[in-house]
């Protein structure tokens, strides 16, 4: 396997690049600097809010590509590369359905910020983890002055067994993604990490064989299809493992970093030839 031709790397965050304590590997920034020196572009691709991702990587914010809200919002050097909002006409229906789901709470993910109307302690702990720009409102249905990129359901009943059932009917019309044990994301049909990768490949003239991606959950599925070097971490959902071409060790064993170190070694070997 020749890794030396890779020009674009994109990785999911939670469950993939980050360990179970939501921490980066201590060697990440050193590796990032070496990749940058080789002209390799690096993207964080997540269901997280764009502003949260930018704050997570402040030391390299101006050198990193950010794929936020599952591909709905992509930026590089503070320039918008892709914005794919939901059709405003369908948002009220999606909100009303969410209100009927037991043990579930709704986040309206706008381009400007996120909106919530519940302040349950457990829910807020999760909101604060992933949404740096947020505000509490009396009624989500009254939010009209923002582009809505995604509706996220924080489902303490289990997203795959609980809230997904309420939105399964929209598959084909929208992206309905189980993105974690307690997370369900609903976004525009054209908004996914795979399309974001394709947009980056086109913009920077990078090929399928020059792209490397890492993921663990169902919101990474489309991304797996857009790179030859598609990796699932060992702790990934079975369908992601099946879709990926390669498997690396788990997020708690620095699976992503291990592959990046292999890539750097391949580049070093190429230089010495």
Do residues 95 and 182 share a domain?
A: yes
What's the CA gap between 97 and 124, in Å, rounded? Answer: 21
Average pLDDT over residues 185-211: 97
**Which residues touch 28 (CB under 8 Å, ≥6 apart)?**
17, 257
First to last CA, the chain: 17
pLDDT value of residue 268: 82
Number of domains observed in the structure of the chain? 2
- Mind listing the pLDDT tens digit for each residue in 80-131? 999 999 999 999 999 999 999 999 999 999 999 999 999 899 999 999 999 9
Listed residues 188, 207, 234: the one ending a domain: 188
Do residues 183 and 225 share a domain?
A: no
Reported confidence tier of residue 46, pLDDT bands at 50, 70, 90: very high
- Mind listing the pLDDT tens digit for each residue in 122-138? 999 999 999 999 999 99
pLDDT value of residue 271: 61
Do residues 76 and 200 share a domain?
A: yes
Q: Is the pLDDT of residue 183 over 60?
A: yes
Listed residues 153, 188, 223: the one ending a domain: 188
Do residues 111 and 166 share a domain?
A: yes
Inside any domain, residue 2: no
Percent with pLDDT over 70 in the chain: 99
Q: pTM for the whole thing?
A: 0.94
Q: What single string gives the DSSP state of each residue in 108-144?
A: EEESS-EEES---HHHHHHHHHH-SSEEE-S-GGG--
Assign residue 109 the CATH number of its domain.
3.30.1240.10
pLDDT value of residue 7: 97
Reported confidence tier of residue 4, pLDDT bands at 50, 70, 90: confident
Distances (CA, A) of 114 to 50, 106, 151: 11, 10, 9
Assign residue 213 the CATH number of its domain.
3.40.50.1000
pLDDT value of residue 269: 75
pLDDT value of residue 272: 59
What's the CA gap between 87 and 178, in Å, rounded? Answer: 20
Q: Is the pLDDT of residue 273 over 60?
A: no
């Amino acid at each position: 396997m020749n890794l030396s031709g890779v020009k674009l790397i994109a990785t999911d965050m939670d469950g993939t690049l980050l360990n179970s304590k939501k921490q980066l590997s201590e060697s990440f920034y050193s590796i990032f600097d070496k990749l940058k020196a080789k002209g390799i572009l690096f993207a964080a691709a997540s269901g997280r809010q764009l502003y949260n991702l930018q704050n997570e990587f402040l030391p390299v914010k101006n050198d990193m590509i950010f794929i936020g809200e599952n591909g709905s919002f992509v930026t590089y050097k503070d320039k918008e590369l892709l914005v794919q909002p939901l059709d405003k006409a369908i948002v009220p229906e999606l909100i009303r359905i969410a209100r009927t789901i037991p043990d579930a709470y709704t986040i309206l993910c706008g381009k400007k910020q996120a909106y919530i109307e519940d302040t349950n302690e457990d829910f807020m702990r999760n909101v604060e983890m992933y949404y740096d720009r947020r505000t509490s409102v009396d009624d989500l249905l009254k939010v009209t002055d923002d582009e809505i990129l995604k509706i996220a359901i924080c489902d303490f009943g289990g997203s795959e067994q609980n809230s997904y059932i309420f939105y399964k009917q929209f598959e084909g019309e929208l992206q309905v993604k189980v993105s974690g044990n307690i997370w369900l994301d609903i976004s525009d049909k054209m908004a996914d990490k795979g399309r974001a990768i394709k947009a980056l490949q086109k913009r920077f003239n990078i090929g399928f064989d020059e792209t490397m991606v890492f993921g663990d959950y169902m919101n990474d599925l489309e991304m797996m299809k857009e790179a030859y070097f598609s990796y699932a971490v060992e702790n990934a959902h079975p369908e992601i493992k099946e879709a990926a071409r390669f498997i690396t060790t788990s997020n708690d064993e620095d699976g992503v970093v291990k592959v990046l170190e292999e890539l750097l070694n391949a580049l070093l070997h190429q230089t010495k030839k």
